[in-house]
Structure 1
Amino acid sequence: MRKIVILTGAGISAESGLGTFRAEGGLWAQHRIEDVATPEGFARDPKLVMEFYNARRAQAAEAAPNEGHRALARLEQDFDGEVVVVTQNVDDLHEKAGSRKVMHMHGALKSALCATCDHRWPAPLVMAPGDACPACERPTARPDIVWFGEMPYDMDEIFEHLAGADLFASIGTSGNVYPAAGFVAEARRSGARTVEFNIEPSLVGSQFDDIRIGSASQTLPRWVEELLAR
């Protein structure tokens, strides 16, 4: 086995205290998706959207990686082959744990994006409507987040990785959101073995060769031990 591709979702970050998309009482529960996670919502009320992501950025800055994140970083370090983490999460907990090859398909809280020239730069902890782009100086800064209706990042590269995978793992994802929900089918078409880690089977759970139920912080360290012992 030479290549492992891993998809991570909100479930792994939830164990570090970051609310999932559907968590009761969390940041997401206080707002409609249409208001804070769409281009149209940003156009209607940029102040609300900026404040929402400022709160998420502050929360993520204080969060620490859990044993699941650390297990994946150890796998990347010690596996005799390539490990690629594709995450739907916009926090940097994988990087904090030590993972180096991480692809943020839905963007990153630590990054700002210019809506005019597509320049990216490290986001300040607090962003405001009308912030200027350091490259073109237009007042069109926005969070570097892929909103509903926008194309996820790096899709061509991600599909290339899936096509070359020997093993595909999905961790803490619901199977609700495409294109990520289709990654298991893509990996299977390429002959990869597939495994899902989740609190309960996802909507695409039937497509996996193996399903491991439980928290990522408990199941992932055991799995990594198994892989590295082979």
Structure 2
Amino acid sequence: MDLPQARAALQRARRVAVLTGAGVSAESGIPTFRDPQSGHWARFRPEDLASPGAYARDPGFVWEWYAGRYRDVLRAEPNRGHHLLAELERRKGADFFLATQNVDGLHARAGSGTRGGTLVELHGNLITGRDEKTGEVFPLPEPDALTLPPLSPNGHRLRPNVVWFGEYLPEAALWAAQRAFEEAEVALIVGTSGVVYPAAGLALDARRSGAVVIEVNPEETELTPLLSFSVRDVASRGLAALLE
């Protein structure tokens, strides 16, 4: 398959499923999860902070790190890649499904999930917190008003509303994503390394079901040999090549 064929397949498809990873948000200045830490955090691995064990030992310390990421997210703006996916949703309507591994909320801010299709955040959202006792999700206060660890309106401590190492993805979100990829005619895998499962398995679900699966990534990934076609570029330019 070449680029014109991939573009034509996407244009023809009624059912389209998309998986996005950190490469989409990198163009908005959001560091990828595994980028080297700086300053005070340089001697810590993200894996050592994003875990139930770390949070149980010192919730204030873990929240300090997440508060920094929260401030970074609020300063960022959706980029052209986010907006192109929102436009693709507008074109495809109810049969468009976007699953993201990103926790920055930038897809929603670009309009995804509001133009007829579906948006699911497989790994949670940094701009919200989850009540430790009730499980309810609440928006976090503005950074200047954020006390650590924050409390919910119920008076209970909030934990970051993200999926940590050792935790399962939200069952309903994962089930919806698996069904969408199994039913898709075309699937786009955008800006993800393809090493984090079960999200990475969505591409294989689509391929096994006969979908055309197109990767957009500047680098070859573990999924590349298994997919229909790859656009070797950053998310915004790769999506533009497919959509414009």
Q: TM-score, with normalisation over the residues of structure 1?
A: 0.90
Q: Provide the C-alpha distance between the structure 2 equivalents of 1:26 and 1:187, rounded to a whole number of angstroms.
A: 38
Equivalent residue for 1:199, pick from 196, 218, 233: 218
Aligned twin of 1:102:
119
Aligned twin of 1:40:
53
The DSSP-based 3-state class of the residue aligned with 1:70 is helix
Asked if 1:160 corresponds to 2:179, the answer is yes
Distance 1:130 1:99, change over 3 A: closer
The DSSP-based 3-state class of the residue aligned with 2:31 is coil
Q: Confirm or deny: 8 A CA contact 1:197 1:214 kept in the other structure.
A: yes
Superposed displacement of residue 130, structure 1: 4.9
Aligned twin of 1:228:
none
Equivalent residue for 1:219, pick from 225, 231, 238: 238
The DSSP-based 3-state class of the residue aligned with 2:86 is helix
Distance 1:20 1:34, change over 3 A: closer
Aligned twin of 1:12:
24
Superposed displacement of residue 209, structure 1: 0.3
Equivalent residue for 1:76, pick from 65, 75, 89: 89
Aligned twin of 1:124:
141
Q: Provide the C-alpha distance between the structure 1 equivalents of 2:96 and 2:225, rounded to a whole number of angstroms.
A: 24
Pairwise CA RMSD: 1.9
Asked if 1:134 corresponds to 2:146, the answer is no
Q: Deviations over 1:133-172 (max 9, x none)?
A: 324x33x311101001111121111111112111111111
Aligned twin of 1:21:
33
The DSSP-based 3-state class of the residue aligned with 2:200 is helix
Q: Confirm or deny: 8 A CA contact 2:188 2:215 kept in the other structure.
A: yes
The DSSP-based 3-state class of the residue aligned with 1:186 is helix
The DSSP-based 3-state class of the residue aligned with 2:72 is helix
Q: Confirm or deny: 8 A CA contact 1:129 1:141 kept in the other structure.
A: no
Count how many residue pairs are aligned between Structure 1 and Structure 2: 223
Asked if 1:54 corresponds to 2:71, the answer is no
Structure 2 alignment gaps of length 5 or more: 1-12
125-134 or 164-173, larger mean C-alpha shift = 125-134
168-177 or 96-105, larger mean C-alpha shift = 96-105
The DSSP-based 3-state class of the residue aligned with 1:84 is strand
